[in-house]
Amino acid sequence: MNIFIVGGAGYIGSHMVKRLGQLGCAVTTLDNLSSGHRDAVLCGEFLHGDLADTALLANLLQPGRFDAVMHFASFIQVGESVQQPAKYYANNVTNTLHLLDAMRAAGVQRFIFSSTAATFGEPQYTPIDERHPQAPINPYGRSKLMIEQVLEDYDRAYGLKSVCLRYFNAAGADPQGELGERHDPETHLIPLVLQAASGRRADIAVFGRDYDTPDGTCIRDYIHINDLCEAHWLALQSLMQGAGSQRYNLGNGAGFSVQEVIEAAQRVTGKPIAVRDAPRRDGDPARLVADATLARQQLGWAPQFPDLETIVAHAWGWEQKTSGGKP
């Protein structure tokens, strides 16, 4: 299979490129390297370019060249999206429309889209299944929901089949230690906690201890990066077999609090981790947990690394490697 991967140099995309390469697919990655890393693209062809470059897209997406497109290139910081919505709508919406137009022109009819739990907004109930109303509360979530809606319309009008995968909290790293999370600046909990354990950071700030949860800290559903990649692979196969468009929530269905993540990191690393209490972060719901029954039933998806300590251990392997091998 020939797969076009946009954003293949980023955290999730790079793990996907590796996986598809192992599965024998021919992979072409397009990435503008605004946050990704060239050396994270471990196989296939790499092209440095931007989705805003419509001539480049038209040239790349020649009829018959690709069986499917996976789209990982987006801006993902909720707080930044509130301050700079134009940046988010330009990249996450307009540039995605360029990609879809180029696909239409080339007759590429299969698309896998990285969506997010942020499309749901403040949960009305948990765990969150696909029937939960989508009412995002920030431009990031809205930009992703807009594309989900565009994809419904494009299926109806143009027959483009898509799978929207709504990630809850992507975490962990390549178990073989070749890839991991490299955001700059890093804003995600697990890598930050591990940087505090390795000594790269003085401490970890806990954003709020007064939530309506058993220990007062926010609860999230952490899902291993390889399990996310497996869901993409299964979604790709289902599209290849002629399935219709689908949307799936992807998580383990188990929530862990910020405090529990810190304690798991202490157990995994054997290091003391200095903790600092900080105010709540804007836009953080108390509890986000996925009901992924539909993906399990329809795709046959079964997470291989559901255990929080395993997720943290893989991320710790990566942190040790990138922090200069400090024990």
Active site residues: 140
- List 183, 188, 209, 296, residue binding ligand UDP (CB under 6 A): 188
DSSP-assigned beta bridge partners for residue 111: 69, 162
Using the rule CB under 6 A, is 205 a contact of ligand UDP?
A: yes
CB under 6 A: which stretch of 24-32, 48-56, 67-75, 198-206 binds ligand UDP? 198-206
Using the rule CB under 6 A, is 218 a contact of ligand UDP?
A: yes
- SS3 of residue 134 by DSSP: coil
CB under 6 A: which stretch of 23-31, 139-147, 184-192, 300-308 binds ligand UDP? 184-192
Nearer to ligand UDP, 216 or 306 (CB): 216
Tell the residue number behind the tokens 């995968």, with chain if given.
165
Using the rule CB under 6 A, is 187 a contact of ligand UDP?
A: yes
Residues 48-67 that bind ligand UDP (CB under 6 A): none
Nearer to ligand UDP, 161 or 166 (CB): 166
CA–CA gap between residue 236 and residue 68 (Å, rounded): 8
Closest Cα partner for 308 from 297, 316, 300? 316
- List 128, 165, 206, 299, residue binding ligand UDP (CB under 6 A): 206
Residues 113-172 that bind ligand UDP (CB under 6 A): 169
What residues have CB less than 8 Å from 39, skipping those under 6 apart? none
Residue 177 backbone phi and psi in degrees, to 5: 80, 10
Using the rule CB under 6 A, is 207 a contact of ligand UDP?
A: yes
Element housing 184 (H / E): none
CA–CA gap between residue 76 and residue 78 (Å, rounded): 6
CA–CA gap between residue 51 and residue 66 (Å, rounded): 17
Closest Cα partner for 298 from 152, 163, 112? 163
Binding pattern for the stretch 279-298 against ligand UDP, x by CB under 6 A and - elsewhere: --x--x--------------
CB 267 within 8 A of CB 273: no
CA–CA gap between residue 7 and residue 14 (Å, rounded): 8
Burial class (CB in 10 A: 0-12, 13-18, 19+), 19: buried
Residues 252-271 that bind ligand UDP (CB under 6 A): 258
CB under 6 A: which stretch of 7-15, 67-75, 84-92, 183-191 binds ligand UDP? 183-191
How many other β-carbons are positioned within 10 Å of the β-carbon of residue 276? 10
CB under 6 A: which stretch of 146-154, 176-184, 205-213, 265-273 binds ligand UDP? 205-213
Using the rule CB under 6 A, is 74 a contact of ligand UDP?
A: no
Nearer to ligand UDP, 206 or 308 (CB): 206
CA–CA gap between residue 326 and residue 215 (Å, rounded): 32
Using the rule CB under 6 A, is 80 a contact of ligand UDP?
A: no
Count of residues engaged in binding ligand UDP, rule: CB under 6 A: 14
Binding positions for ligand UDP, rule: CB under 6 A: 169, 187-189, 192, 204-207, 218, 220, 258, 281, 284
